[in-house]
Amino acid sequence: MRNVDVAGRVAELAELLTPAERRVAHQVLTRPELIAFGTVAELAAESQAGAATVVRLATKLGYDGFTGLQDAVQTELGKRLRPAAQRIREPAPDDVIGRTLATELENLHATLEQSRHAGFEIAVTHLVDPAKRIGVLSGEASRGIATHFTGELGSLRGGVTLIDGNEVAVLRELALLSPGDVVVAIDLRRYDRWTVEALRWAREHEIEVIALSDSALSPIAENAVAAFTVAAAGAGPFDSHVGTLALLNAIVTAAAARLKKSAAQRLDRLEMAWQRAGALRDLG
């Protein structure tokens, strides 16, 4: 298997994993220390699976058994764990700005790096196809980012709608999409039940899904044409959406490059309308 990190390998094979293997993979993704410093028996117990399932998953991911998987996880953890001489110079716990800066830089790096292997070009190709209508569906916590993304992509091309509101409104918007159209789904654990159910309905009606979530094994990512794993560690008590926003910014940037001529004409019309109405003001 080509040089892809552990999370990337899980993402590539997510749809081929059995329920028991998915439980083990979830532990691999969310508790790397358990894999790096634990045993087959401990991982099996935490996953409510058999030792054979652990070994089978490691082999399916392209490693030489559990030892190979463990070595890979230890290597990845080693890259994250800097020497004590560096760590002692890190911001003190009461330095909120410093801690936030460090956390968000890691979120940005992890999110954008993994997007190279998660179908970025496939996602952009779907989103710039004029024959496809685009719906943007988000959990409650990501709604602001979803609204922002809808506005920016909708400024570049037509047929982009934020799917929001109560069950009646959501199903109305989904029902107006056709097979082959696209839903961009954004949500982090713990996933909003209505978002998961709406996506299930979309898939049953052959609507394609582009997913942004916090795990390759998320119900949001299931059967997606492109599934992105965003890093969402927070410096405080809440998840961060900085990585999600950065990834969506990258998608919009790539879409703008693909749609350059038609997007420029569309933006010119919008700018003219705003200027005539005096809707926006510069400094002074």
- Can you give 181-198 as a three-state secondary structure string? CEEEEECCCCCCHHHHHH
What is d(CA 51, CA 61) in angstroms, rounded to the nearest whole number?
A: 16
Same domain for 155 and 58, yes or no, is no
pLDDT tens for 197-221 read 999 999 999 999 999 998 878 888 8
* Nearest CA among 112, 110, 170 for reference residue 139: 170
Distances (CA, A) of 61 to 36, 55, 76: 16, 10, 16
pLDDT of 89:
56
Q: Is the pLDDT of residue 117 over 80?
A: no
Query: Is 94 domain-assigned?
Result: no
User: Which CATH number do you get for residue 53?
Assistant: 1.10.10.10
Same domain for 133 and 239, yes or no, is yes
Q: Domain tally for the chain?
A: 2
Same domain for 61 and 132, yes or no, is no
pLDDT of 133:
96
Query: Is 278 domain-assigned?
Result: no
Helix (H, G, I), strand (E, B) or coil at 3: coil
Q: Predicted confidence band at 281 (pLDDT cuts at 50, 70, 90)?
A: confident
**What is the 3-state secondary structure of 116-176?**
CCCCHHHHHHHHHCCCCCEEEEECHHHHHHHHHHHHHHHHHCCCEEEECCCHHHHHHHHHC
Q: Give the residues across from 185 on adjacent strands.
A: 137, 211
pLDDT of 109:
86
Same domain for 54 and 130, yes or no, is no
What pTM was computed for the model? 0.75
Report the pLDDT averaged over residues 44-56: 92
Same domain for 182 and 260, yes or no, is yes
Q: Which tokens go with 49?
A: 């699976």
Same domain for 133 and 268, yes or no, is yes
What is d(CA 69, CA 86) in angstroms, rounded to the nearest whole number?
A: 28
Residue type, 97: I
Q: Is the pLDDT of residue 1 over 50?
A: no
Query: Is 265 domain-assigned?
Result: yes
Query: Is 226 domain-assigned?
Result: yes
Same domain for 130 and 62, yes or no, is no
Same domain for 62 and 138, yes or no, is no
Q: What percent of the chain has pLDDT over 70?
A: 92
Query: Is 89 domain-assigned?
Result: no
Same domain for 156 and 260, yes or no, is yes
Residue 116 near residue 123, CB atoms below 8 Å: no
Domain membership of residue 159 as a residue range = 115-273
Query: Is 281 domain-assigned?
Result: no
Same domain for 37 and 172, yes or no, is no
Query: Is 27 domain-assigned?
Result: yes
List, in order, residues 6 or more apart from 52 with CB less than 8 Å away: none
Query: Is 100 domain-assigned?
Result: no
Q: Predicted confidence band at 92 (pLDDT cuts at 50, 70, 90)?
A: low
Same domain for 153 and 239, yes or no, is yes
Same domain for 121 and 77, yes or no, is no
pLDDT tens for 139-195 read 888 999 999 999 999 999 999 999 988 888 888 999 999 999 999 999 987 788 888
Q: Is the pLDDT of residue 134 over 90?
A: yes
